[in-house]
Amino acid sequence: MAELSLVSGSVGLITLQSPPVNALSAAVRRGIVDTMQRAVSDPKVRSVVICGQNGVFCGGADIREFGSTMTGPPLVPMIHAIEAADKPVVAAIEGSALGGGLELALGCHYRISHAKARLGLPEVTLGLLPAAGGSQRLPRLIGVPAALDLITTGRHVTAAEALKLGFVDQVTDQNTVEAAVQFALSVVGQSLESRRISSLPCPCPVDVDALFEGVMQRVRQSARGAIAPVACVQAVRAAATLPYAQGMQREQELMATLFTSGQARALQYCFFSQRAVSRWSMPSGARWDTCKPKPVTKAAVIGLGTMGRGITVALAQAGLSVVAVETQPQQLKAGQRAVSDMLERAAQRLGVPSAVQGVRYSQELQAVADAHLVIEAVFEDMALKEQLFKQLSSICKPDTLLCTNTSALDIDHLASQTHRPQQVVGMHFFAPAHVMKLLEVVYGPRSAPQAVATAMALGKRMGKVSVAVGNCRGFVGNRMLMPYVEEALFLLEEGATPETVDHALEEFGFPMGVFRMSDLSGLDVGWRVRKAAGLVEPGKMSRVRQGRRYSPLGDLLCEQGRFGQKTGQGWYLYETPGSREARPDPWLHSFLEEYRARQGLVSRRIDSQEVQERCLYALINEGFNILQESIAAGPEDIDMIYVFGYGWPRHRGGPMFYASQVGLPRVLQRLEHYQQLHPDVPHLQPSSLLWRLVSSGSPPIHRWREVIRKPHSAL
């Protein structure tokens, strides 16, 4: 909806009204068309201001409408009519002007912005391009290089940057609508010719072909298979090389391809899922809207290693006062230096005061006594953590929340070491903890809903995408990773190389294949976990352990001291320990050949399809088991964990969304196929939930929960 009122005697004020972000729904577009027509034809109105209610100009097209047949007036002619008006039209931008919202503002003759507003064309992040003239108007206004940057990245800019780039005319820290009304009064009668952006020539660099070739190469490289950034470059190229009307036609053609693509659907699913996971629920029925988090201002971190340092930085940057406890004096010193450096650098980058003063350091556990919340990040060793939780239980105040950053250990067992099992939850961060957006909040059977609410709220304060999950070995993310990694090892046994496996996974869109990733994290990490699980038999080559197929390849590498990047050798070779460029290692290839010969394994050619199907479908299958067991409340939770924590390509929506796009019958059929070939691999046995979904007619992903909840006997 949009409302027209007359202010200051002669200004027609059009207010967009569609909470929460005044998205351009069919009703809003109808309202704009109607109010503009009235304003233009009303002789009392001499100029027009467009603003949004509740301090938000406009969050763009209504993304929810993209899934159904679009009705109502289309955006492009609506914006053209505004631009063509013979009375000055001023956009009063508060809060956000994003996507179609900014395109609407670009159709106005002037733009006045509040200093705190954010502006941008984020369509690319939704698998689209600015197809309401944005890709044609912005380059005409601010030049090709700046427009390419904004349109291909989708980044939001501040009003100050928008002013500098030239797409707002004035920035105010006062009442924006009043400033815009005054401005509108002042420009009555002035010529509007030069204010109609579509009529301006596009300022073009001399060697336009070279510019676009360079940009296209860079964009293709960083897009990891996403098609929208490429289409965005093509659309801006049209602005630079074609007359406006032809450029608009090209914009529409490109948009038509993107609009119906699976990638756009995946990215829009991610947009809503990212928001949906904050509305958590537990199998007990406890929910986000019935539990109030406890206030937390003082936090403690125990262990200043890789994870403890990042967690300390994230907490301090969120404004908490933090005490960091580390028993090893050397580690304490190194940790303190690393934390201070990270905080100083971030403060410089963001132009804000440093949070260094907010952190205290100690070697004594007693220092955590007055914290509201403690996060333990010591070695992954159950005996050590048990001991620590016993101590914390007696040192901390009774209502202090005790959290662990364990990657896979039993939260409930740790809780049982304390006098307050209801106050124990997992807060599983991802390395580097101050950078990675994901936080798994793990509740055990005795965790209080309020403890979960508090950890989720703290995650939000730290800027994380927090997902609440149940307690099991590896929780959601690491549990699903196990079959993925195991399949990759089996593929090596059968004839693949780390290079062929990684290539197939990188082709799928992961930033790094599984072997490059393992080299980066350190092969010793998984080795320690397998030792603790009683799976490692030093020097032995047996390929069946604990009653199922096992590959000792990773253990054999570790026995040789090959721990990955840190030792300069792992699945790949590195120039020096610590260097990052992975090179194929002839030693490893001979080692694999020798291994296969000793095991009597016949090497065969393995193609990308098999790599992708076996690694990814095994991982997805575990996801179905997780849903079946209610460890994750819904497929969106799993998908956001994989997108934000494990580099799953966002334009593929996450593993469960990907399965829905491939088609559940197809995933089931391929798992059955591989299971027949490898009957000793339990993780290839299709999950009973996958069976149930397929026999329920493979409903769309937003209806899976209905099948999950249905008792088996009802099918």
Ligand X SMILES: NC(=O)C1=CN([C@@H]2O[C@H](COP(=O)(O)OP(=O)(O)OC[C@H]3O[C@@H](n4cnc5c(N)ncnc54)[C@H](O)[C@@H]3O)[C@@H](O)[C@H]2O)C=CC1
Ligand Y SMILES: CCCCCCCCCCCCCC(=O)CC(=O)SCCNC(=O)CCNC(=O)[C@H](O)C(C)(C)COP(=O)(O)OP(=O)(O)OC[C@H]1O[C@@H](n2cnc3c(N)ncnc32)[C@H](O)[C@@H]1OP(=O)(O)O
- Residue 123's binding partner out of ligand Y, ligand X, none, with CB under 5 to 8 Å set by partner kind: ligand Y
Residues between 431 and 450 that touch ligand X (CB under 6 A)? 431
Could you tell me which of 69, 142, 68, 132 has the C-alpha nearest to residue 102? 132
Using the rule CB under 6 A, give the single segment among 197-205, 252-260, 674-682, 690-698 that binds ligand Y: 252-260
Residue number closest to ligand X, CB atom: 305
For ligand X, the binding residue among 377, 414, 441, 458 (CB under 6 A) is: 377
Residues between 273 and 302 that touch ligand Y (CB under 6 A)? 275
Taken in order 646, 650, 656, 662, is the CA torsion positive or negative? negative
Interface mask (CB under 6 A) for ligand Y, residues 68-87, using x and -?
-------x------------
Q: CA angle at residue 416 from 411 to 418, to 5 degrees?
A: 105
Using the rule CB under 6 A, give the single segment among 241-249, 372-380, 567-575, 688-696 that binds ligand X: 372-380
Q: Count of alpha carbons within 13 Å of 212, Cβ hemisphere only?
A: 19
Provide the residue type at 580 as one letter.
Answer: R
For ligand X, the binding residue among 186, 297, 327, 348 (CB under 6 A) is: 327
CA distances from 108 to 51, 136, 142, 167 (A): 11, 15, 16, 11
Q: In this complex, which beta carbon is closest to ligand X, that of residue 98 or of residue 427?
A: 427
Interaction between residue 529 and ligand X (CB under 6 A): no
Using the rule CB under 6 A, give the single segment among 250-258, 377-385, 482-490, 663-671 that binds ligand X: 377-385
CB of 521 to ligand X, least distance (A): 6
Interaction between residue 105 and ligand Y (CB under 6 A): no
Interaction between residue 20 and ligand Y (CB under 6 A): yes
- Residue 59's binding partner out of ligand Y, ligand X, none, with CB under 5 to 8 Å set by partner kind: ligand Y
Dump the DSSP string for 484-549. Answer: HHHHHHHHHHHT--HHHHHHHHHHHT-SS-HHHHHHHH-HHHHHHHHHHTT---TT---SEETTEE
For ligand Y, the binding residue among 38, 44, 64, 580 (CB under 6 A) is: 64
| Residue 158 dihedral angles phi and psi, to the nearest 5° | -80, 165
Strand arrangement of the beta sheet that strand 401-404 belongs to: 359-362, 321-325, 298-302, 373-376, 401-404, 424-429, 438-443, 465-470
Using the rule CB under 6 A, give the single segment among 37-45, 147-155, 283-291, 404-412 that binds ligand X: 404-412
Could you tell me which of 372, 408, 369 has the C-alpha nearest to residue 392? 369
Cβ burial 676-702 (10 Å sphere, 16+ → b, else e): eebeebebbebbebbebbbebebeebe
Interaction between residue 303 and ligand X (CB under 6 A): yes
Both tokens of residue 411? 């939260």
CB of 687 to ligand X, least distance (A): 26
- Residue 326's binding partner out of ligand Y, ligand X, none, with CB under 5 to 8 Å set by partner kind: ligand X
CB of 409 to ligand X, least distance (A): 7
Choice among 65, 83, 94, 123 that is catalytic: 123
Dump the DSSP string for 304-343. Answer: -SHHHHHHHHHHHHTT-EEEEE-SSHHHHHHHHHHHHHHH
Q: Count of alpha carbons within 13 Å of 548, Cβ hemisphere only?
A: 12
300: three-class secondary structure by DSSP: strand
| DSSP conformational letter for 442 | E
For ligand X, the binding residue among 289, 379, 397, 547 (CB under 6 A) is: 379
Could you tell me which of 433, 447, 317, 321 has the C-alpha nearest to residue 377? 433
| DSSP conformational letter for 233 | H
Q: In this complex, which beta carbon is closest to ligand X, that of residue 306 or of residue 675?
A: 306
Q: CA angle at residue 373 from 367 to 377, to 5 degrees?
A: 75
Interaction between residue 470 and ligand Y (CB under 6 A): no
Query: In the annotation, is 123 catalytic?
Result: yes
Interaction between residue 232 and ligand Y (CB under 6 A): no
Q: In this complex, which beta carbon is closest to ligand Y, that of residue 274 or of residue 312?
A: 274
- Residue 307's binding partner out of ligand X, ligand Y, none, with CB under 5 to 8 Å set by partner kind: ligand X
Choice among 3, 65, 83, 103 that is catalytic: 103
- Residue 169's binding partner out of ligand X, ligand Y, none, with CB under 5 to 8 Å set by partner kind: none
Interaction between residue 322 and ligand X (CB under 6 A): no
Using the rule CB under 6 A, give the single segment among 95-103, 160-168, 464-472, 530-538 that binds ligand Y: 95-103
Both tokens of residue 265? 């659907």
- Residue 407's binding partner out of ligand Y, ligand X, none, with CB under 5 to 8 Å set by partner kind: ligand X
For ligand X, the binding residue among 217, 328, 348, 669 (CB under 6 A) is: 328
**Count of residues for the chain?**
715
654: three-class secondary structure by DSSP: coil
For ligand X, the binding residue among 253, 380, 507, 629 (CB under 6 A) is: 380
Interaction between residue 123 and ligand Y (CB under 6 A): yes
- Residue 380's binding partner out of ligand Y, ligand X, none, with CB under 5 to 8 Å set by partner kind: ligand X
The answer to whether 174 and 143 have CB atoms below 8 angstroms apart is no
Q: How far apart are CA 358 and CA 81, in angstroms?
A: 54
Q: In this complex, which beta carbon is closest to ligand Y, that of residue 75 or of residue 453?
A: 75
Using the rule CB under 6 A, give the single segment among 65-73, 80-88, 297-305, 469-477 that binds ligand X: 297-305
Residues between 30 and 59 that touch ligand Y (CB under 6 A)? 59
CB of 618 to ligand X, least distance (A): 22
| DSSP conformational letter for 601 | P
Interaction between residue 366 and ligand X (CB under 6 A): no
Q: In this complex, which beta carbon is closest to ligand Y, that of residue 279 or of residue 673?
A: 279
Interaction between residue 459 and ligand Y (CB under 6 A): no
Q: How far apart are CA 213 and CA 233, in angstroms?
A: 10
Interaction site with ligand X (CB under 6 A): 302-308, 325-328, 331, 377-380, 384, 388, 405-407, 429-431, 521
Interaction site with ligand Y (CB under 6 A): 20-21, 23, 59-64, 75, 96, 98-100, 103, 122-123, 126, 128, 131-132, 255-256, 259-260, 272, 275
| Residues recognised as catalytic | 103, 123
